[in-house]
Amino acid sequence: MSNDRSESAAPMTDDEKRLHQLGYAQELSRTMSGFSNFAVSFTIISILSGCLTLYGFGMNTGGPVMIVWGWPFVGLMTLFVGLAMAEVCSSFPTAGGLYYWSAKLAPSNGAAWSWFTGWFNFLGQVAVTAGIDFGAAFFLNAFLDLQFGFSTTPGHTILLFAIILLVHGLLNSFGVKLVARLNDISVWWHIVGVVFIVGALVIVPDKHQSAGFVFGHFVNNTGWGSTFYVALLGLLLAQYTFTGYDASAHMTEETHDAARSGPRGIVMSILVSLAAGWVLLIGLTFAIQSYDGALEGEIGVPPAQIFIDAVGAGLAKVLLLVVIGAQLFCGMSSVTANSRMIYAFSRDGALPGSKFWHKINGKTRTPTNAIWLAAGGAFLLGLPYLWNATAYAAVTSIAVIGLYIAYVLPTLLRLLQGKDFQPGPWHLGRWSRPIGIIAIVWVAFITILFMLPQVSPVTGSTFNYTPIAVLVVLGFAAAYWFLSARRWFTGPKVQGTEEELAAIERDLESI
């Protein structure tokens, strides 16, 4: 049998050839453009989701000065992390992404590096999906309260959270073409939405806050006495928003010209979000009519209260719908990226029940079972909100820590390789090492920072359960590794010879 898979088959594209070199068949449908790849990451970063769902946290933890100045600082540090990731993505454009990179870059014990990178990525992906859709539930509950009197209680929020995850699971089950089309729409929804919201907040209100307030006012409602400590905690708003851009890597097996489109998607999603998000945060902060009123409003969602105070209830509802739409796009994309990571990780046997999670739906060419694991895991992570009022901030911290540890491990291994690293067509050249070092130092810093207590005094209802969630997953992964997996998990598996890969592809095409 020839490498053309069959005499009647079209010749392999460069993307398919590279995927075969990495050991995998073209099981997923490669229909996404470079713009669609960027759109997935940009949608998951979603400035209208992260910025606004944690805006109340930022108002209490540092206030305007940290909201406004923390954003560009964190955005710059995130860009260093993204650049380092993008370079590795170009070398290994596969849905496995981070854990695959670790396996191939490790000088020794590649299977162990791959295992722990994958489990941290799995934790972060599930947590970021939970955080995004939980934020959408918050804002949807606020809108329903304004419009229909559906009060903003934890029970109502959890109910909406479950419904949103169900819808996102269903949308992803219909196929990647629908998801890609919705993501393309999402980019313009976000950009036009920011312009519309900021424009309304600039034009409609009779008064605005002073520049001194917006760019220099510090607020500490945490109970902690240290201004410096509280200011650092306030960086969570920005750092949580700048997550999920590894989606461009996870979608490379479905993207044309993946070795270039994937890295560009990572970097451009960060840059565009950095610019648009700063405009949004500055515009929203200028529009605050009553700081305490926004925090103590009956709705319980400070940005929604700011909208109402600034532009009136009627227009505020329209602005809320714009935000909710963006958050729903964001959550849908997060389930997409999460499911591809689960699909790839289980393809290599790393998850309990891997054969089930790796299964591909022959009609839609999507990993349907992995999609529902992503949605179900996110729901379980959000449930503690019924008992713990600070659970949402903890979920966002878990997302940041889980994802960023997974982001930076391949960067560390790439630096250890030195000149042995084989760059892809998109690379950093002589800037690779300094950018990588900055990325590693930053991730080490935020990993410690966001596991610290966020509110004082620390009680059962204010406890930051981030360290527990991280330690439970790390402990499970470590125990699973030392008791069992180290004897059989060898890292990413080669699916077969060239002929066997072609046979897998022919079988899928015949369905």
What DSSP assignment string belongs to 6-51? STTSPPPPHHHHHHHHTT----S---B-HHHHHHHHHHHHTHHHHH
Q: Which amino acid is at 129?
A: T
Q: What are phi and psi of 348, to 5 degrees?
A: -100, 15
**Structure tokens belonging to residue 258:** 């993946």
- Dihedral angle computed from the Cα positions of residues 326, 331, 334 and 340, in that order, rounded to the nearest 10 degrees: -120
Alpha-carbon gap, residue 377 to 126, rounded angstroms: 6
CA separation (Å) from 297 to 3, 291, 302? 65, 10, 7
Tell me the Cα Rg of the chain: 22
Q: Are 427 and 75 in contact (CB under 8 A)?
A: no
**Structure tokens belonging to residue 110:** 């590649």
**Start-end of H helices in 383-465:** 391-417, 432-449
Give the residue ranges of the chain where pLDDT is below 50: 1-8
**Structure tokens belonging to residue 185:** 């729409």
Q: Which amino acid is at 484?
A: S
The helix-helix angle for 391-417 and 98-105 (nearest 10°) equals: 30
Q: pTM for this structure?
A: 0.87
Quote the pLDDT of residue 43: 85
Q: Are 147 and 320 in contact (CB under 8 A)?
A: no
Helix (H, G, I), strand (E, B) or coil at 219: strand
CA atoms within 13 A on the CB side of 458: 6
DSSP code for 256:
T
Quote the pLDDT of residue 3: 47
The angle subtended at Cα 410 by Cα 405 and Cα 411, nearest 5°, is 90
